[in-house]
Amino acid sequence: MNKPIDVRSKISRFRILIIGRANAGKTTILKKVCNSVEDPQIYDIRGRRLDPEIVKESAQVKSPTSLSASSALIFRQRGEHEIENQLIFKSNPQFIFHDSRGFEGGSADEIQKVTTFIEKRAGTTELSRQIHAIWYCLPTDGNRPLLEAEDQFFDISGTGKVPLIVIFTKFDGLVTKAFQQLRAEGKNIRTANAGKLELAQRMLTTHYRDQLNHVAFKPSAYVQLDDMRLEHNNCIELINETAKTITDDALHLLFVSVQRNNIDLCISWAVVHWMKEAKDQY
């Protein structure tokens, strides 16, 4: 196990892969975590900064033949090697994020690309290039719990020991659905309001968590988040649960140290480490 002083000399950034289908709330979550109102800067695998507008445009084009040479280069990076691009926020550059668009299309190639990326990063001896955690976003406000392709991803083993945190996003949308169901069953508004949260939790368990209890790639933790577009909502639970899943002491301290926007977390985990070190000495 690496000593904290050793790891900080080798690595100063915490690297996270975030996966999720369209409208899962990924970008909004990252902005909350990094306390940013701006979009992230995008860098390729060599550390070259990419133009986000060209990246966005090229991602919508099916063939690079109609693009300029520079745009075609970005297209190839955004297409075949999109997951290798690094997203970094000015407000907290100690985080590096990799983004996967999820498996809505059910493409076996997309699943293979993501699993290959995870395995390759898990197999590297360079700590700074490893993936230190995976955040998998599953929106709960729609009518499709787990897609078939998502089932396939979670049933793939051999993806290393990277902590996998499943984030149930837009949980407030599921609460609204629970309220509507109770009203449809004949409950009055007061009764429906009183029971909607409990029903939403049961629906979450039945339609999501129960299905993930028997997969090969078992989640290390579960987190439920309301709509992160609302100013009063935060990602403190996500940060705390991620911290709990990191078993390497040095990486754990690194993750805690990059929480510029969560001083309470830094203090609480610093106390935990101090107590652990004190216990080990006796």
Nearest residue to 140 via CA among 196, 99, 192, 178: 178
pLDDT of residue 157: 59
> Residue 45's pLDDT is what?
87
Q: How much is the mean pLDDT over the chain?
A: 81
pTM higher than 0.85, yes or no? no
At 264 the pLDDT is 65
Q: What is the per-residue burial (b if ≥16 Cβ within 10 Å, else e) of 69-79?
A: eebbbbbebbe
CATH homologous superfamily of 13-45+81-243 = P-loop containing nucleotide triphosphate hydrolases (3.40.50.300)
Residue 105 pLDDT level (bands cut at 50, 70, 90): low
**Across residues 89-103, what is the average pLDDT?**
90
Judged against a pLDDT cut of 50, whether residue 168 lies above it is answered with yes
Q: Residue 74: pLDDT band by 50, 70, 90 thresholds?
A: very low
pLDDT at 130 over 70: yes
| DSSP tag of 75 | H
